[in-house]
Structure 1
Amino acid sequence: MSPRTLLALNWKMNKTPTEARAWGRELARSYRRGTVEVAVMAPAVSLYGLKEAMPGGVDIGAQDVSAHESGAHTGEISAAMLRDAECTYVIVGHSERRTDHAETDALVAAKARQAQAQGLTPIVCVGEGLEVRERGEHVEHTLAQLRGSLDGVDERVVIAYEPVWAIGTGKTATAEDAEAMAAAIRGALREHYGDLADSLRVLYGGSVKPDNVAAICAQPNVNGALVGGASLKVEDVLAMLSALE
């Protein structure tokens, strides 16, 4: 049995707490729970207010977490803090974090372990840049990143494949491209977790929109999407849910 489809909405550095609450209330007016799971990955300052405004059945999550449990780490946000904010998920290793903050696979794995220690499900992001794909090394690169990012991480995890060249560029991997990489990721997960790999969710992220989400998520090894720009408007989110349902 295939795992439940997950639509993870990554707002990135958008929406003030006031705007987030308004978005949640707008969604609540039209949202009807269906077969697709929805989670909103919001900036940390918006999480409490967003949870209060969100309709029942929609989860919230964070966009990053500290690799440290607590202590003298100014500016960091711990997994315990996110749990207290009633988060279900947290993104770790997004390509923008890897690029802008030089996050390594080892650091991503440490963050994922911290998330799991507090009962959160990490969404571990992996993927290649354009130059890697043009050299034909995208599978090798992505699987090496995956293995390093899962060191000591148990099976309570979601994987998001995000080809970096398709994030915010308007370029999108075809549904066949997404499936080819998702299948390779599934194979690596089987090596790591055995038969449990078949129940793990592999998401695709990169310029996902209402007009392509259904084709991408219909692929056998793609179990949902990590959505950036199209997550900011409630009408687009509802259109994606309609397409998937």
Structure 2
Amino acid sequence: MHIRVINPNTTRAMTDLVGRSARVVAAPGTLVDAVQPTMGPASIESHYEEALAVPGLLEQVALGEAEGVDAYVVACFGDPGLDAARELAHGPVIGIAEAAMHVAALVGRRFSVVTTLGRTRARARELADRYGFRDACVAVRACEIPVLALEDPGAQRRLTDECRRAVEQDGADAIVLGCAGMASLCAAIADEVGVPVVDGVAAGTVLAQSLVTLGLRPGAAGEYASPPPKPMSGLLAGFEIHAAVRVPVA
């Protein structure tokens, strides 16, 4: 089995981080690689950056399809381009926010999301509503640390303190870490705050692996059917689809 973790930003250190986090939970015999786009923002902390990250994400899915990749994990908590990626891929495509929220709901009745900047809180809340966790997600908190500063001295302490406040003030009995760049901090934070702390990269990898094992993939008809062939122009000319990219499974 070949699972590809796609970091939708262009920062190599984060790509390496999510790759390591995914490999820790991969089953024996499962190949996990981590890639990043050839174009796009260095980090994703706004709607603008999220939109500009999607072409690079789809580029990596298309390359993975040519290489026979079995499943993909989109390693950004905004789950950018998730529906579009599912239209392109033969196998499962898992967003880390969706995966983390599902897993948190399995180990606790109420969870809080602890994310990076306050400006991203509304996106996390929007995803919780979309995925059916409006009641289970009791709060979305921000530690006000930029994505690319999560490895700076003091970042882990600030994040841990915010997670502790989520437990004490929100009544959360599970925590969802709201950024792929937090993956390496998950175990240490859980030890301190005393409730399950869910990293979406690990959760997404395990779910992708499980769906491949079950033989489940996006449907060849309906909303996730292949996009219809049509001309593209300008900077997007290379994304033109000339024929159906997925055929029905026998």
Same fold (TM over 0.5): no
TM range, normalised to the smaller chain?
Answer: 0.3 to 0.5
Larger of the two Rg values belongs to structure: 2
Q: What is the TM-score normalised by the length of structure 1? A: 0.33
Q: What is the TM-score normalised by the length of structure 2? A: 0.33
